[in-house]
């Protein structure tokens, strides 16, 4: 009798728990719809939110063909979300703040868009896309992907000879003559001090192999061989670097999240030991 009671209680607990376990994230995914200006003009927009350990990140489209803006802040409550972002454009700095309310699979509300010295209020109505996952854009593998100016923020440990620590700045890549190469000039800041580096990238489209060479501000050089057969990521492994009686190897995952953004995740190994996290960076094309 006691076994039957225990079984019945277990069934009841599982029945109560099942809806909670199956419940989807209320915000993560792609929300598509229309942004309306005070003049009554409509623009198709998409807000894509991704859940992480520290909250939500995401992208917003709708400001121009192929243009994606990385969200800088996402604040959620029970049924409300505030999304903020900013970027530089040819017409000046662009910033937006959207305050939206969720009603089942609908998001609606208002916001403010500022371009240069001009700002205007907008209204927004979005509907959650059918897919619960966030589609990954397919990037064409080409050396011109890197051409232009990128801003970056890198968070990581100070670990000579591989990394000088958390830093930020910009890198401008220009095409080199006589081959599929670009050279990047890095200007940045680490611990309040300026630094400069030179990066060189080459790509063999026939075998989809890529080489990445960094002449670091410390005088150390890193050379990595990469595999770009995937349209969503490049995997690198550097040649061993000897310093202070040890041998270091860097492994890098570069994820091409869009034509205007990519991220890097670095790991390192010392003397053949297991790989450990070194740091991660976010790069956004500004021109």
SS (H, E, C) the chain: CHHHHHHHHHHHHHHHHHHHHHCCCCCCEEEEEEEECCCCCEEEEEEEEEEECCEEEEEEECCCCCCEEEEEEEEECCCEEEEEEEEEECCEEEEEEEEEEEECCEEEEEEEEEECCEEEEEEEEEEECCCCCCCCCCCCCCHHHHCEEEEEEEEECEECCCEECCEEEEEEEEEECCCCEEEEEEEEEECCEEEEEEEEEEEECCCCEEEEEEECCCCCEEEEEEECCCCCEEEEEECCEEECCEEEEEEEEEEEEECCEEEEEEEEEECCCCCEEEEEEEEEECC
pLDDT the model gives residue 86: 86
Domains and CATH numbers, the chain: 29-128 (2.40.128), 143-285 (2.40.128.20)
Cα(252)–Cα(213) distance, integer angstroms = 13
pLDDT the model gives residue 22: 39
pLDDT the model gives residue 66: 52
The answer to whether 249 touches 259, Cβ cutoff 8 Å, is no
Residue among 119, 154, 124 at smallest CA distance from 44 = 124
pLDDT in tens, the chain (287 residues): 444 544 444 334 334 434 433 356 889 888 989 999 888 888 888 888 887 777 888 888 876 555 678 888 899 999 999 999 888 776 778 889 999 999 988 999 999 998 888 888 999 999 987 654 445 567 889 999 999 999 999 999 898 899 999 999 999 999 998 889 999 999 999 989 999 999 999 999 999 999 999 999 999 999 999 999 888 889 999 999 999 899 999 999 998 888 889 999 999 999 999 999 999 999 999 88
pLDDT the model gives residue 83: 94
Helices (H), the chain: 2-22
The position carrying tokens 């939110």 is 49
pLDDT the model gives residue 90: 67
The answer to whether 278 touches 266, Cβ cutoff 8 Å, is yes
pLDDT the model gives residue 56: 86
| pTM of this structure | 0.56
pLDDT the model gives residue 136: 56
- Token pair, residue 175, equals 């095409």
Residue among 44, 258, 235 at smallest CA distance from 136 = 258
Residue among 133, 131, 127 at smallest CA distance from 51 = 133
Give, as one character, the DSSP assignment of residue 92. Answer: E
pLDDT the model gives residue 62: 76
Cα(56)–Cα(201) distance, integer angstroms = 32
Tell me the helices (H) and strands (E) count for the chain, helix number first.
1, 21
Q: How far is CA 186 from CA 111, 254, 282, in A?
A: 36, 18, 15
pLDDT the model gives residue 137: 63
The position carrying tokens 């063999």 is 204
**Exposed, middle or buried by CB within 10 Å (0-12, 13-18, 19+), for 49?**
buried
pLDDT the model gives residue 64: 59
The answer to whether 274 touches 267, Cβ cutoff 8 Å, is no
Largest interatomic CA distance in the chain:
85
């Amino acid at each position: 009798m006691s076994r039957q009671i225990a079984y019945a209680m277990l069934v009841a607990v599982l029945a109560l728990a099942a809806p909670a376990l199956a419940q989807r994230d209320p915000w993560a995914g792609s929300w598509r719809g229309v942004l309306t200006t005070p003049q009554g003009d409509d623009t198709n927009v998409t807000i894509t939110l991704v859940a992480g350990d520290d909250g939500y990140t995401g992208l917003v489209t709708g400001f121009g063909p192929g243009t994606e803006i990385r969200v800088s802040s996402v604040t959620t409550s029970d049924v409300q979300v505030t999304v903020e972002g900013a970027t530089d454009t040819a017409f000046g700095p662009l910033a937006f703040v959207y305050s939206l309310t969720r009603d089942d699979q609908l998001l609606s509300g208002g916001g403010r868009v500022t371009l240069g010295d001009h700002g205007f209020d907008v209204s927004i109505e979005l509907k959650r896309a059918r897919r619960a996952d966030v589609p990954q854009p397919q990037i064409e593998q080409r050396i011109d992907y890197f051409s232009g100016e990128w801003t970056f923020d890198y968070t990581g440990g100070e670990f000579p000879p591989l990394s000088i620590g958390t830093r930020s700045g910009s890198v401008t890549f220009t095409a080199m003559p006589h081959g599929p190469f670009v050279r990047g000039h890095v200007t940045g800041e680490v611990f309040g001090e300026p630094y400069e580096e030179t990066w060189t990238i080459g790509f063999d489209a026939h075998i989809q192999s890529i080489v990445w060479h960094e002449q670091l501000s410390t005088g150390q050089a890193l050379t990595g061989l990469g595999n770009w057969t995937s349209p969503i990521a490049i995997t690198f492994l550097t040649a061993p670097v000897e310093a202070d009686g040890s041998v270091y190897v860097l492994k890098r995952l570069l994820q091409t999240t869009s034509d205007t953004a990519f991220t890097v995740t670095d790991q390192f190994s010392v003397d053949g030991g297991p790989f450990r996290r070194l740091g991660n960076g976010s790069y956004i094309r500004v021109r």
